[in-house]
């Protein structure tokens, strides 16, 4: 495991010289929160982080000004059980760009963040939107958001590259509405000759028992569409089971 500073420095080294990248990492103090799932019987705390990348290019931008490139928002949960065992769960809530030419730095930022984590569970929900973190960035004609399916493909490739197989005990993924991996791979642009070889063994579907109630096994993260669906199921007095 590397520190985030070490990981991001290494990630930026291959980029062309002449640009000064500035990294801002804002993290709240851990605070106690409700368990992610009802079965967690220990104490859970959460830290909320926002990481931003800006660039100063003396050839294009005045020295006193910088332009934001991209950002990453995460939540890091630590659950301490009665036997003092700890479990860290990371939820990557948002990834966004401003549309400013970024030399694919967004992927470099996410990889550096992932490589700075210790043993943990990482959750990503890929839902495409015109903008997430940067107000009015959707009006930038240079910004071309990915579709939902393309975004899943982006995450699939990025996680396959960023996480060494030796550190991954299980990797699950799914695309809503598709029941088999072959169809899903085609949908995200990874089918046929375009399928990327990876050391990670991806398993398609959910890491839960088939008869498990959704509200008992799916973690409830802040600002997560799945959490809102679960609350709706509970409000409607349904059992919330996967079928």
The pair of three-digit structure tokens given for residue 207, joined into one six-digit string = 């890491």
Q: What is the mean pLDDT of the segment spanning 192-221?
A: 80
Averaged pLDDT score across all residues of the chain: 86
Active-site pick, 58, 179, 199, 224: 224
User: Is the Cβ–Cβ distance between 108 and 96 less than 8 Å?
Assistant: no
> pLDDT tens, 171-189?
999 998 899 999 999 999 8
Of residues 55 and 223, more confidently modeled = 55
Least confident of 13-22, 60-69, 112-121, 217-226: 60-69
Least confident of 196-200, 207-211, 218-222: 196-200
Is 180 a residue of the active site?
A: no
pLDDT at 161: 85
The pair of three-digit structure tokens given for residue 155, joined into one six-digit string = 């995450």
Residues in the chain: 243
pLDDT at 57: 66
> pLDDT tens, 21-65?
999 999 999 999 999 998 778 899 999 999 999 998 655 545 557
Of residues 170 and 53, more confidently modeled = 53
Q: What is the pTM of this model?
A: 0.87
User: Is the Cβ–Cβ distance between 56 and 65 less than 8 Å?
Assistant: yes
Q: What is the mean pLDDT of the segment spanning 200-216?
A: 88
Burial class of residue 108, CB neighbours in 10 A (0-12, 13-18, 19+):
buried
Can you say whether the dihedral through the CA atoms of 210, 212, 213, 214 is positive or negative? negative
Q: State the pairing for strand pair 86-97/67-80.
A: antiparallel
Q: What percent of the chain lies above the pLDDT cut of 90? A: 57
Q: What is the mean pLDDT of the segment spanning 76-97?
A: 94
In the predicted structure, residue 205 carries a pLDDT above the cut 90: yes
User: Is the Cβ–Cβ distance between 45 and 11 less than 8 Å?
Assistant: no
Q: State the pairing for strand pair 43-57/19-27.
A: antiparallel
DSSP string, 11-44: HHTTSPTTEEEEEEEEEPPPEEE--SSTT--SEE
In the chain, what are the domain boundaries? 4-235
Closest to 105 in 3D by CA, of 168, 1, 19, 26: 19
pLDDT at 240: 46
Q: Which of 156-160, 220-224, 238-242 has the highest mean pLDDT?
A: 156-160
In the predicted structure, residue 200 carries a pLDDT above the cut 90: no
């Amino acid at each position: 495991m590397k520190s985030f500073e070490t990981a991001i420095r290494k990630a930026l080294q291959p980029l062309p010289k002449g640009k000064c990248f500035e990294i801002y990492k804002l993290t709240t103090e851990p605070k106690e929160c409700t368990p992610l799932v009802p079965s967690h019987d220990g104490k859970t705390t959460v830290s909320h982080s926002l990481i931003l990348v800006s660039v100063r290019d003396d050839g294009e931008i005045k020295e006193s000004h910088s332009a934001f490139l991209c950002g990453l928002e995460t939540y890091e949960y630590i659950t301490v059980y009665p036997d003092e065992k700890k479990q860290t769960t990371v939820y990557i809530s948002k990834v966004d760009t401003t549309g400013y030419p970024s030399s694919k730095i967004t992927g470099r930022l996410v990889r550096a963040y992932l490589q700075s984590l210790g043993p943990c569970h990482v959750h990503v929900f890929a839902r495409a939107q015109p903008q997430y973190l940067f107000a009015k960035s959707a009006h930038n004609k240079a910004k071309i958001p990915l579709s939902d399916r393309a975004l899943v493909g982006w995450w699939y490739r990025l996680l396959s590259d960023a996480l060494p197989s030796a550190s991954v005990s299980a990797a699950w993924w799914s695309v809503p509405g598709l029941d088999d991996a072959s169809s899903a791979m085609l949908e995200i642009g990874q089918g046929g000759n375009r399928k990327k070889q990876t050391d990670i063994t991806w398993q398609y579907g959910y890491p839960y028992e088939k008869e498990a109630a959704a509200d008992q096994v799916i973690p409830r993260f802040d600002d997560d569409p799945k959490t809102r669906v679960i609350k709706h199921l509970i409000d409607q007095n349904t059992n919330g089971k996967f079928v």
